[in-house]
Structure 1
Amino acid sequence: MYIKICIISIALLFLMGVFPVQAADPAIVITDYEVTPSVLMPDEKGIVTVTLSNTQVTGTTPVLSPDESDSDFSYLTSSSIIDSVFLDGKKDIDVLAGNGQFEGKIGEGQSIKISFVIRAPPQSGLYFTQLLIRIRDHEYIKYPIAINVNTPISTVRQPALILSQSSSGPIKPGESFPVKITLTNMGISQAEDITLRVKETGLNIAPLQTNAFHIAKLRQGEESSGEITFNTDKKTTSGIHKIPVEIAFTTPDKGETQVTETISLDIRGEADVSIMSLETDPERIQENSPFDLVIRLDNSGTGDAESVRASLDLPFQGTKEAFVGRIEPYNDAPAVFVLESGEPGDYTYNLNIEYKDDWGEHQRTENLTLAVIKPPDNTVSYIIFLILVITCLVGYRFWSRRGDV
């Protein structure tokens, strides 16, 4: 009977306001935290970032009646006032900075980030710190934060999308070619709503029709493929071109994740060396006389022509081989031969051209003709010239003697 009377008395004292009423639940909550790096090495420093939010919504404050005073509803303002924020390392984690850095009020619907510098212990393991938030007129808010020190433990099961590619082989500039792109989920959870998109690069390589494809979902160990056709410009340089590929997907916690991978395209230019022009010096080749044969070789292909050589099989004495070297696309270079002609006539000969490009060694043979003429016969000219000289001398003699007659 005595106990019942005490309980009733205490209840009446609470109702009469003798004892203060415990405030309602505070509006401050911890909405997120992050440890950087996610896995610390022993004795390594890291940063713990905590997000505090005020969940109180504007317009929820009650209207006071004439019988109520501000003190009756003091929790509505004090529940968002923070007196201190403290990270307790529990004797294992050293908190180097950040404790006591914030106190004050967080506005309605607002959030703040608070960071702490920590140092990991010398031993590997999983450690638990405790975040202590003192809210005015309330008890401490306590929140455990796990610190992973060199242990293979993942707090979130995430997918891991691995990109691979396959194509028909090296590509010539100016051609269109398909590339098969495969995504394999090597993670430990499912990935959903996957979009693969080839990004613009400003190069002379671009998707021909579409630059993306979509995959609904990939479970652990599953793979899916799509094909994208690329088009190249003839001026695309030779080499390995890296094309960025953007992969966007949804994680199990409904978070959107975006990563960028690359595919490699092997572009190999193809040279095309041929005769551009041919000339001799002198222009008319006489028998048994020296002359120069100049043949200009042109590269009309899409790649460099390396180690260009030219040779001919004319039955003359002289230089019959010429080393030209490298000829870049849309350029030309001379092959010069210094020769001594033979007997008059038309000579059919072969010009052999050898060169290398990204696709290997090449040879080309051109059939040409060279004319050698006899020197002109000047006997008649000499006779006529002699007659003219004699005639002039006779005429002059007669003219000079007319005064003696």
Structure 2
Amino acid sequence: MNNKSNIPHIKIPILFAVTVILLLIAPANAELDVVLSKLSPQPVEPGQDLMLSLTLANGNAQANNVILAINPDPSIILKNENDRVINEGTIISYGTVAENYLLHIDQRAFSGVYEIEFMVSWMSDNQLHEINKTFKVMVQGVPQLAISNITIDSGSISPKDMFNITFLLSNAGSGIAREVEISAETSGLPFVPAGADTKIIKILNPDESIELDFRLLVKDKTVISSYSIPINMDYKDESGKNQSSRSFVGVNILGNAELSIGNIKTEPQNPVKGDPVTMTLRIENSGNGDARSAKVNLNIPFEGTKTAFLGKIEPDDDAPGVFTFNAAESGDIPYTATIEFEDDLGKHTVKEVLSLNVLDTNKSGIIIPVIAVILAAGIFVFYFSRRKNKKQ
């Protein structure tokens, strides 16, 4: 019984002794490891700085000639080039060394995962040892939408005109824009959408562009002026946050004058050959813009004043053109009235072919005696009828 009870007490010292012997005969080995202690901020935006801290941790033997080198992705810039290769010298067994790196993310970097590689070399037991350690950096870009290459399909736009606005929508940022809504805001403006006033784009990647267009109608009676049409851009960034921006498209509404002859009045009303005649042409503007430098020329085979300067005629207004001449010939005299004016669209000429009836002198001389005979006959019949009634 006593022999059996002594066996466990004998085994414990033996095991301990064996362990000590193995530790003494096992070769000491320096094993370095690179431990990441800080990486901030994460995720990081393009154009921002990034702080990285690490620790070199040694094993159970001294490490000599320790060299630490960093090799970041090209989009990650090391702000201090002296930190690219660091000579750490000697690290004692179970010793540690801390290093801090200040990095910068390239402004042009897109969203994604980038790598920073560390390489460590050292001497231990007269042998060269090396390890590589890689850490990942998450870059989260910021989308930035803008419009460019704006064109309007009509060279000139006036009230009641239809026109197209075409532009290029681009993502000039570094992040993906999602659920993009582009709208032309016409509220409070003299424009009416002739189609969909909102365009939907599911995803717009960095450096991606897409052509969009909006068709609009100019309201009637629109004030002639310049207008700015807001183009609203609503979207979500990579974190799901709602973002918005706005650009403007300038549109000039031009006045379009329309001149014509409203009526013609002559004095005398039925001119006779040889009469001095005063003719008045009333020129009306039925357009939506001012007519400037308006004038009327008469091409009629009579001597007299045949040009009238009217100046400015506003929309829904008119102006008289007065001409004086001698009716030197009788008959239906053809003539042309030429109206010249300017508006926002340029210079214009309108011609109207007309005729003036001039009575002959002889024919007009017969009319009066004939009228006198008719009147005398009427008086005679009236007088004779009365006398006859009295006698009865």
What's the TM-score, normalizing by structure 2? 0.54
Matches within 5 A, 1:92-171: 157-164=141-148, 165-169=150-154, 170-171=156-157
Instruction: Work out the CA distance in 1 between the residues paired with 2:220 and 2:186.
Output: 18
2:187 is the alignment partner of 1:236 = no
Displacement after TM superposition at 1:200 (Å): 3.5
Instruction: Work out the CA distance in 2 between the residues paired with 1:204 and 1:379.
Output: 62
Displacement after TM superposition at 1:230 (Å): 0.8
Question: How far does the alpha carbon of each residue in 1:4-30 deviate from its partner, in whole angstroms, 9 at most, with x for none?
Answer: xxxxxxxxxxxxxxxxxxxxxxxxxxx
- The equivalent of 1:293 in structure 2 is 279
Contiguous gaps of at least 5 residues in structure 1: 1-151, 389-405
- The equivalent of 1:322 in structure 2 is 308
Matches within 5 A, 1:4-403: 157-164=141-148, 165-169=150-154, 170-375=156-361, 376-377=364-365
1:309 to 1:379, Cα distance in 2 relative to 1, 3 A: closer
- The equivalent of 2:89 in structure 1 is none
Contiguous gaps of at least 5 residues in structure 2: 1-106, 110-138, 377-392
Instruction: Work out the CA distance in 1 between the residues paired with 2:261 and 2:235.
Output: 56
Instruction: Work out the CA distance in 2 between the residues paired with 1:236 and 1:253.
Output: 44
Question: How far does the alpha carbon of each residue in 1:283-304 deviate from its partner, in whole angstroms, 9 at most, with x for none?
Answer: 1212323221100112222322
CA contact (8 A) 1:215 1:224 kept: no
Amino acid aligned to 2:336: N
What's the TM-score, normalizing by structure 1? 0.53
Instruction: Work out the CA distance in 2 between the residues paired with 1:290 and 1:369.
Output: 17
Instruction: Work out the CA distance in 2 between the residues paired with 1:191 and 1:266.
Output: 32
Following superposition, which runs of at least 4 residues in structure 1 exceed 4 angstroms of deviation? Answer: 152-157, 378-381
Q: Which structure's CA Rg is the greater one?
A: 2
Instruction: Work out the CA distance in 1 between the residues paired with 2:152 and 2:283.
Output: 34
Please state whether the residue corresponding to 1:339 is helix, strand or coil.
strand
Instruction: Work out the CA distance in 1 between the residues paired with 2:241 and 2:296.
Output: 65
CA contact (8 A) 1:189 1:219 kept: yes
Amino acid aligned to 1:161: L
Q: How many residues align?
A: 238
Displacement after TM superposition at 1:254 (Å): 2.6
CA contact (8 A) 1:347 1:370 kept: yes
1:180 to 1:248, Cα distance in 2 relative to 1, 3 A: same
1:338 to 1:156, Cα distance in 2 relative to 1, 3 A: farther
Please state whether the residue corresponding to 2:365 is helix, strand or coil.
coil
Question: How far does the alpha carbon of each residue in 1:175-226 deviate from its partner, in whole angstroms, 9 at most, with x for none?
Answer: 2222223211122222221111222432321212321011112222111122
Instruction: Work out the CA distance in 2 between the residues paired with 1:374 and 1:265.
Output: 59
Amino acid aligned to 1:319: T
1:378 to 1:231, Cα distance in 2 relative to 1, 3 A: closer
Amino acid aligned to 2:175: S
Please state whether the residue corresponding to 2:173 is helix, strand or coil.
coil
Amino-acid identity (%): 29
